[in-house]
Structure 1
């Protein structure tokens, strides 16, 4: 397989940068501060309903304004970090545990084994590998981790007489559908449900059906393209690679060692214990973080990673979470300003008045569309949850939508657009690694995005019609 020298256009993609999320958030902080001087302050009374705080819609009153001072703008960031500290450190600990898993090499070995064993069964290879990445996305929020596998699967796809889009889509679309369905994604649904005061990972049945639907659609889309390219290579995109006319022979000597197998079995056991703890023992993020840390250490020891390297790998994994974790703190700063200026309830009051007379199903669709485009500004699942769910959860109460449905609208809006927005850092890095210009990818993937949006709307309508709960 020959590689071509990258063109100027292909080289530039490595140098392109998306809009910096922190700059955008800081401007929103400034705007929020300005609004404390413009919008009237207001307040709802809260009542306790089955252990959760719920807005009483009949109690809104305007109160004396409390505009934010100049230094309070900057103080709010520190206060936001304090407010979001529980979620921030949860993200660091779980990210660190995944860093230890990554250091064992077990996941990379599994992907290589699947790819080599199924190299002569390409139509089976694509759904199997996409299932692996969908599982990673839905169970551990696989996102940045996909970059490792792009470098493996894009050359493999070329060698199997497919194209760059096929290899890139196996990884990216596979992980994306899992991330969007978020059956047990601790970084999106786990955080959002906690903010909405829902039981952790509740409502799992509908999300499993959503995952199956999104996964089947993704596999169909990629297989359809792959078969076209194999039959007519001129229809493919090869970028820095040359098309291959003969298939590779698998490395029959490659075997996954016992250590890697034990690591993967232990990793699976982690999720079995997690499911039991969440469903039977009512665990929340503190217990979940502790579980991941414990199993991370065990996995490191089983993988024969020396203690000092376990610590280093934990730090490497946590380091990858720094941007997303800090986004949570910055997003909380906006909420700090809204609360100190008594604007949170005013926003709820006007928002409920705007959409309160609409059928609830249209309100749910509006929530989804808002979250979909808001992801352009805040391309962090946990950061978006921290910023929007404190507003969306009580708004859902006011307009007759269940909080669980509001979380579903959030997770779909956050997840689906990660395969297209240039502000999503790991996605743009993946395009650069594969040598795919952003504009070419958008043209190829846009029909699939529309399919996903259609599926999302159907599931949101179903959720509203069945009063998806528990509340």
Structure 2
């Protein structure tokens, strides 16, 4: 994808905080193996309710220990990949489709065109562009895909009298709002609900309300800051764009063509069909994967890509998600080890005992806190779902919380952390592109983080009180 003509490569620095997620997960697998030698083995009975497996909370019993042998540490990775294969291939197919979409240039043309139209309407730039990125994060799971647009939004923001912090926030905070609400994000709520055996994208009405509140609060925060910079530019921060001729950085050659509009119309129609299929026919991963694959073929044809171009860009898009897809399988290996050692139910038993000590209204909040802590270790949204939901879904039932509420707590723990944890690769890359030091960003973003966690706390407590479901 073409970029504005500006050097976005920051000076090489010692990479603090950066630990490979696979190394972290392998350490977690090793800890899981050790736990099978330490914790007593236990087991809950399961019963079938409407086609899904549900724990019988009164059936826990201690059983004979079966600790996992050292070789099980490496064997579990293959087993985890096999068990999570359905979700892994779902993620890769969607990645391939987005690769074709990116190759058509439709998304870039839309953003550049909107930016150009709003150039002299600075009061509308922030809410409209943040809504665009929020919708992308909420519907398509846009995260790393948003990074190229930082190089578009920052020059535009500076040209309109704002600063680099404003431009970066439009992209990063906007996408985070979408990830947090996750109306139909296939990489977060799609994966988590699949593991929790919930209908795909169910409970959307409540998440729409969360989206609206998160969007309004976050947009108001960025607007308030931008207005201050507009009045006094000396208080702004310009990062790598200090002294740049912003007029040269704004794209004038790109237009939103009729072909681009046709591609975007197909994309929107795809989500309409998806919602209809899920609600009317109960479509799941197989049907949804087929739908996205069909979308890729259609937009490739509309975009006049040759067969080889379509296949090459599909492979390129899928390759971009290989790491994230593998994280899902490796995270699943942790659950494989705990299951093989018969200590997963033991952990559930003890965890339920701790959460049951909390007032009923705060049990869901306890799950939110736990998910937030885990997000520091596993910054991948889909990987975190694969790691935590096999435990959180049954744990929710044991403490009287619906599975849908458990998924909501996971969404908040993952989504809000996307704009401040230093272990998040794409977030840190975004700051590097803008030339914004992490500590400076943290000083600026902390009030918004606190507000968002306040909203999340209220949302999970209310969800628990109303029995947010279907179950």
TM-score, L = length of structure 2:
0.95
1:281 aligns with: 281
- Determine the C-alpha separation between the residues in 2 that align with 1:331 and 1:249: 42
1:230 aligns with: 230
Deviations 1:336-357 (A, max 9, x none): 1001000111111111112223
Deviations 1:373-413 (A, max 9, x none): 21111111111111111111111111111111011000111
CA RMSD of aligned residues (A): 2.0
2:407 aligns with: 407
Change (3 A) 1:249 1:422: closer
Equivalent residue pairs, number: 467
SS of 2:418's equivalent? helix
- Determine the C-alpha separation between the residues in 1 that align with 2:11 and 2:344: 45
Q: How does 1:56-135 map to 2 (within 5 A)?
A: 56-135=56-135
Structure 1 position 27, deviation (Å): 0.8
Structure 1 position 242, deviation (Å): 2.9
- Determine the C-alpha separation between the residues in 2 that align with 1:237 and 1:465: 44
SS of 2:239's equivalent? coil
SS of 2:184's equivalent? coil
8 Å CA contact 1:4, 1:240 repeated in 2: no
8 Å CA contact 2:39, 2:343 repeated in 1: yes
- Determine the C-alpha separation between the residues in 1 that align with 2:334 and 2:246: 57
SS of 2:144's equivalent? coil
Structure 1 position 245, deviation (Å): 11
- Determine the C-alpha separation between the residues in 1 that align with 2:36 and 2:202: 36
Q: How does 1:254-293 map to 2 (within 5 A)?
A: 255-293=255-293
Deviations 1:445-469 (A, max 9, x none): 1111111001111111111111101
Structure 1 position 12, deviation (Å): 3.5
Q: How does 1:9-408 map to 2 (within 5 A)?
A: 11-13=11-13, 18-242=18-242, 255-408=255-408
Change (3 A) 1:12 1:388: same
SS of 1:146's equivalent? helix
SS of 1:260's equivalent? helix
Structure 1 position 13, deviation (Å): 4.9
- Determine the C-alpha separation between the residues in 1 that align with 2:60 and 2:266: 52
Structure 1 position 315, deviation (Å): 1.0
Structure 1 position 11, deviation (Å): 1.6
- Determine the C-alpha separation between the residues in 1 that align with 2:344 and 2:129: 45
8 Å CA contact 2:44, 2:59 repeated in 1: yes
TM-score, L = length of structure 1:
0.95
8 Å CA contact 1:368, 1:413 repeated in 2: yes
Structure 1 position 358, deviation (Å): 2.3
1:444 aligns with: 444
8 Å CA contact 1:130, 1:174 repeated in 2: yes
Deviations 1:17-68 (A, max 9, x none): 6211111111111111011111000111101122211111111111111111
- Determine the C-alpha separation between the residues in 2 that align with 1:15 and 1:346: 38
Structure 1 position 250, deviation (Å): 8.4
Structure 2 portions without partners, runs of 5+ = none
- Determine the C-alpha separation between the residues in 1 that align with 2:390 and 2:165: 38
- Determine the C-alpha separation between the residues in 2 that align with 1:5 and 1:15: 20
Structure 1 position 360, deviation (Å): 2.6
Structure 1 position 334, deviation (Å): 0.6
- Determine the C-alpha separation between the residues in 2 that align with 1:444 and 1:139: 27
Structure 1 position 240, deviation (Å): 2.1
- Determine the C-alpha separation between the residues in 2 that align with 1:27 and 1:258: 51
Structure 1 position 277, deviation (Å): 0.6
Deviations 1:200-222 (A, max 9, x none): 11111110000001111111011
Structure 1 position 438, deviation (Å): 1.0
Structure 1 segments of 4 or more deviating over 6 A?
Answer: 3-7, 244-253
Change (3 A) 1:56 1:133: same
